Structure 1
Amino acid sequence: MQFDVIFDHNDFLIAYKPVGVSFHSEDSPGFVVMLEAQLNVKLFPVHRLDKVTSGLIVLAKHKAAAAKLTALFESRQIDKFYLALIDAKPKKKQGWVKGDMAKSRRGAFKLLKSNENPAVTRFYSQTIEPGIRAVILKPFSGKTHQLRVALKSLGAPIIGDELYAGSLADRTYLHAYNLQFRWDGISIDCKASPVEGELFKRFLSSEVFNDWQQPTNLEW
């Protein structure tokens, strides 16, 4: 399997992780190991994507860059924007989802009403065809399964996300679309549209996707 490198810098690269590929090695080599072999370079992970999520990953090329990128993530200076598709009407069409998260059953998490160390997500949604809504999300924290839990808590789990009671589909319709940050005074703005999934292909031809191609035009 060959992976696409979307942006290449002396200190880091941004690559596309396909849906269904584990980030870390499990029973077989994971995304990072396979990409290292493909490029013949040592890479240092600074964030991750779930196996069921496709999209952009930034990987450092040396320890100093990894430390700097980690600091940028921790201080919320790297903006991440995700696309998702849902087929149930959410409790609200846009706004914030905030709350602590706790482990639930079968490796899932649930959103709590408390806010001691909350997961924070802002989102917008819009109908793209009868029965299907597109969602653009920006996480303001970095919790495991945060976006999947946020949409589940709104009564509209992501299509294909069986762990969170999403409708059966050919994939989980969650995609890391856009990464934006500054590096040594230079603005990095990297986008990659989803390439897997029939519903995403229909979404990419919609007016909604056209409106969302520059996420910062929305109020976050």
Structure 2
Amino acid sequence: MKLEILYEDAHLIAVNKPAGIPVIPDRFNTDAPSVNKLLEAATGSRIWVIHRLDRDTSGVLLFAKDELAHKKLSLQFQEHSVGKFYAGLVNGRLAKESGRIESPIAEHPTIKGKMIVTKSGKPSVTDYRVVSQWPLHSLLQFQIHTGRTHQIRVHMQSIGHPIVADNLYGDGEPFRLSAIKKKYKLSLKEEEERPLLSRLALHAYRLIFEDMEGRERMIEAPLPKDINACVQQLNKQQSKHTF
């Protein structure tokens, strides 16, 4: 698999992470593809991981080429001075066009790998803004000011609008055209409907940070084809609904 490089200099390299691939190797399957291994194979040199995205989240992912860059950029993430922006398709229509969620997050007491909102959790801050809304879905922009595990997913579940196709915090249902199009019919070549999107509908589209020369850098990754296909169909069908 060839990774799309979004930015590169002598110290840093950023790629557009595909959905479905972990940032680092799975400890239970070390031979499976991972972004850092693919990048090291492509560049022929060691790569340092600065931050991570969930396996099914796509978008901007930044790596360091040396220890000094790794230290400086990691510190920016730790101090929450990096601008981290996401786009996500959620279930339902939001009552408010924008808002801030400040619910603390902690690990689930019994389910490994799952997070929950709880008063005893770590401070977590997510800003959201509605970009587009339809009868059953909304496209949102998120900015996270902390970096808790599954932060956006947990926060959106907590207000009743989980990310589309989230199998941990939502219903996990893929996005199908038949769900929004009246009188949907399969084509003669199809035996069953193929979902427009079958993974977590979350994309890291913008990252703002200070590079090794002290200059502000902004790296962006366009909305991926699967999420964009859903948005296009929602726009196409919305004229047939009154809301």
TM-score normalized with structure 1 length: 0.86
Partners of 1:31 and 1:87 lie apart in 2 by 29
Residues 92, 154 of structure 1: 8 Å contact kept: no
Which residues of structure 1 form unaligned runs of 5+? 208-220
Aligned to 2:45, the other structure's residue is in SS state coil
2:84–2:143 CA contact under 8 A, matched in 1: yes
Contact 1:44 1:61 (8 Å CA) reproduced: yes
Match status 1:159 vs 2:188: no
Moved over 6 A (4+): 204-207
* 1:27-38 superposed matches below 5 A: 27=29, 28-38=32-42
Is the aligned partner of 1:119 residue 2:101? no
Name the CA distance, whole Å, in 2 between partners of 1:95 and 1:204: 25
The SS at the match of 1:142 is coil
How much does 1:205 deviate?
9.6
Find the counterpart in structure 2 of residue 193 from structure 1: 222
Aligned to 2:77: 73
Quote the residue 1:211 is aligned against. none
Q: Higher strand share goes to which structure? A: 1
Q: Which amino acid counterpart does residue 217 of structure 2 have in structure 1?
A: I
Distance 1:138 1:23, change over 3 A: same
Find the aligned partners of 2:70 and 2:82 in 1 and give their Cα distance.
13
* Distance in 2 of aligned mates of 1:65 and 1:178: 20
- Once the two structures are aligned, what percentage of the paired residues are identical? 28
Give the equivalent residue in structure 2 for 1:217: none
Query: Which residue does the alignment assign to 1:136?
Result: 141
Structure 1 residue corresponding to 2:45, chosen from 41, 46, 57: 41
Q: Which residue pairs with 2:20 in the alignment?
A: 20
Indicate the structure (1 or 2) with the bigger Cα radius of gyration: 2
Cα separation, 1, equivalents of 2:133 and 2:52:
29
Instruction: Report what 1:174 is aligned to.
Output: 202
Letter in 2 for 1:101: I
**Number of corresponding residues:** 205
- For 2:57 and 2:131, locate their aligned partners in 1 and report how far apart those are by CA, in whole Å: 21
TM-score normalized by the length of structure 2: 0.78
Structure 2, gaps ≥5 residues long: 175-197, 236-243
The equivalent of 2:113 in structure 1 is 107
Q: Is the 1:3–1:17 contact (alpha carbons within 8 Å) kept by the matching residues of 2?
A: yes
C-alpha displacement of 1:22: 1.1
The SS at the match of 1:164 is coil
1:160-183 CA distance string (max 9 Å, x none): 111102451111100000011222
What is the Cα deviation at residue 39 of structure 1? 1.7
Question: Which deviates more from structure 2 when the two are superposed, residues 178-187 or residues 37-46?
Answer: 178-187
Q: 1:128 to 1:90 in 2, by over 3 A?
A: closer
